[in-house]
Amino acid sequence: MSIWRSAPTVEQLNARANQGMAGFLGIRYTEVGDDFLRATMPVNERTHQPYGLLHGGASVTLAETLGSVASMLCIDLKQNLCVGQEINANHLRGVSSGTVTATARPFHLGARSHVWHIEIRDERERLVCVSRLTMAIIEQRPKS
């Protein structure tokens, strides 16, 4: 059974992602499963820290981007918005090139909050980063 309230295609998600930071970093959605969302990000000069490794901030950006969009797909956007409330990340392995793949799955999908577990893996499926993202679900305010 799917957790999604709306289920856009990967192409639709990528078209929207191109408009902001996700597009700048090269984040590309690759799969929408029944209970997960997956995306990739290149490890290159845009995502490196000074030592030539994947920047922890880029990993956190990937995790928050993926979890935020996943939350958005689970709510009624005519009544609610989802906003990031807290994120943490453990960086477990350095990566200097290639592509990393992130997968977001929910721990909790409540009426007022969502908690997501995001794993980032390298091309050899080795765990690079684990993150937990809490999203606040708030009511839409009338536009004035």
**What is the set of active-site residues?**
64
Q: Give the three-state DSSP class for 118.
A: strand
Query: Is the Cβ–Cβ distance between 54 and 77 less than 8 Å?
Result: no
d(CA 28, CA 38): 9
User: Count H helices, E strands: the chain?
Assistant: 3, 6
Rounded Cα distance, 124 and 115, in Å: 27
Whether 48 and 101 have beta carbons less than 8 Å apart is answered as no
- 78 neighbors 5 (Cβ within 8 angstroms): no
